[in-house]
């Protein structure tokens, strides 16, 4: 059962996130196992809400509602914190990770709240509201991942959350048009108003220049969070620091491409090539090594602060 769980988690990562899969290989075996299993649970929850499998639409997503699927996820997550053996691979994997690394139930349910926000079709009036969404879907994953790497210091956990925020801001910038086509918008409504883009016309071709500018603005917002996350590297074991520095480099490069490509980035999903990933892997090694002995600076007061 143990090896079957690992195989399932590894396949989930390989198909679901090629960007993070590169970095995950750098962890030591025990950390890699837990990271993969945590990712498998996150990916499963995301797919269940959207009626997908590994990010792709299924032929028969089911007749139940997203709200009903969300409640099943909550119940299965509650069971993961009991002694009851679980058969579903994603939740059996999460149960192992939660026990081994003492992941607080509040963090798991904070993550599920991100899916609840989608189910409720929430909108986000201002940037802090968008950042609150980013916290639930990605920042808290950074907190859980940091616990997998042995982090317990609250100041370092802040940096891990910042990296998750930066990742999600990048994802939103990259996927603005794809999200609009399925009726979702994570952009601050104040930005839409400033650019005179009605929410119900977000996917209209005439608004492409405005969307490209807003994507560029999101990438710029992500930058101080990427900078803050770098300050957390000295607290990580060397191999974990290498993995996280590499993941940071890969996602940040995607944001740079989105910003530079402008309107073209809206229609063509931005990513990194194999050669780029190899280069970023080497850069990550240099960053991890240079972080040894580095004394982190103070976290900027104007960054969004996670709930505690």
CA contacts within 13 A on the Cβ side of 207: 20
> Mind giving me the DSSP string for 56-97?
EE-S---SS-HHHHHHHHHHHHHHHTSS----SHHHHHHHHH
Residue 100 is encoded by which pair of tokens? 């081994």
The pLDDT assigned to 10 comes to 59
Q: At what angle do helices 89-101 and 140-148 cross, to 10 degrees?
A: 60
Query: pLDDT truncated to tens, each residue of the chain (308 aa)?
Result: 556 555 555 565 555 456 667 788 999 999 999 999 999 999 999 999 988 654 444 444 456 899 999 999 999 999 999 999 998 999 999 999 999 999 999 999 999 999 999 999 999 999 999 999 999 999 999 999 999 999 999 999 999 999 999 999 999 999 999 999 999 999 999 999 999 999 999 999 999 999 999 999 999 999 999 999 999 999 999 999 999 999 999 999 999 999 998 888 888 889 899 899 999 999 999 999 999 989 999 999 999 999 98
Q: How far apart are CA 229 and CA 159, in angstroms?
A: 5
Instruction: Tell me the C-alpha distance between 249 and 243, whole Å.
Output: 10
Confidence (pLDDT) at 57: 46
Q: What is the pTM of this model?
A: 0.92
Cross-strand partners of 53: 56
Length of the chain counted residue by residue: 308
Residues pairing with 188 in the sheet: 124
Q: In the 8-state DSSP scheme, what is residue 105?
A: H
Query: What do you get for the CA distance between the two ends of the chain, in Å?
Result: 36
Considering only CA atoms, which of 235, 261, 233 is closest in space to residue 248? 233
Please count the other Cβ atoms lying within 10 Å of the Cβ belonging to residue 94.
Answer: 27
Domains of the chain as residue ranges with CATH:
1-122 (no CATH), 124-308 (1.10.600.10)
Q: What value, to the nearest 5°, has the Cα angle with vertex 182 and ends 177 and 183? A: 90
Residue whose tokens read 């940037």? 127
Rounded CA-CA distance 293/135 in Å is 29
Q: Nearest to residue 303, comparing CAs of 146, 159, 140? A: 159
Instruction: Using DSSP, state whether 53 is helix, strand or coil.
Output: strand
Determine phi and psi for 188, rounding to 5 degrees: -60, 130
Q: Which residues contact 300 (CB under 8 A, 6 or more apart)?
A: 224, 228
Pairing of strands 52-53, 56-57: antiparallel
Q: How many helices (H) and strands (E) does the chain have?
A: 15, 2
């Amino acid at each position: 059962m143990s090896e079957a769980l690992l195989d399932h988690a590894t396949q989930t990562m390989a198909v679901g996130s090629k960007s993070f899969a590169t970095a995950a290989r750098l962890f030591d075996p025990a950390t890699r196992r837990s990271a993969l299993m945590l990712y498998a649970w996150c990916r499963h929850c995301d797919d269940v809400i959207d009626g997908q499998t590994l990010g792709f639409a299924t032929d028969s997503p089911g007749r139940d509602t997203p709200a009903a699927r969300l409640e099943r996820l909550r119940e299965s997550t509650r069971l993961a914190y009991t002694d009851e053996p679980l058969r579903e691979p994603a939740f059996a994997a999460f149960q192992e990770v939660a026990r081994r690394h003492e992941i607080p139930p509040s963090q798991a349910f904070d993550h599920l709240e991100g899916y609840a926000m989608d189910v409720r079709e929430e909108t986000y009036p201002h940037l802090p509201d968008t950042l609150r969404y980013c916290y639930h879907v990605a920042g808290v994953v950074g907190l859980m991942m940091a616990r997998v790497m042995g982090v317990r210091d609250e100041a370092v956990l802040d940096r891990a959350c910042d990296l998750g925020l930066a990742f999600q801001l990048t994802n939103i910038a990259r996927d603005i048009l794809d999200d609009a086509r399925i009726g979702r918008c994570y952009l601050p409504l104040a930005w839409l108003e400033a650019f005179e883009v009605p929410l119900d016309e977000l996917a209209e071709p005439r608004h492409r220049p405005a969307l490209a500018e807003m994507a560029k603005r999101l990438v710029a917002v992500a930058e101080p969070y990427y900078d803050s996350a770098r300050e957390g590297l000295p607290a990580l074991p060397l191999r974990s620091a290498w993995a996280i520095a590499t993941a940071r480099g890969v996602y940040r490069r995607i944001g740079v491409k989105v910003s530079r490509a402008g309107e073209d980035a809206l229609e063509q999903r931005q990513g990194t090539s194999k050669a780029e990933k190899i280069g970023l892997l080497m850069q990550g090694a240099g960053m991890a090594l240079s972080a040894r002995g580095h004394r982190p600076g103070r976290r900027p007061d104007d960054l969004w602060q996670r709930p505690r």
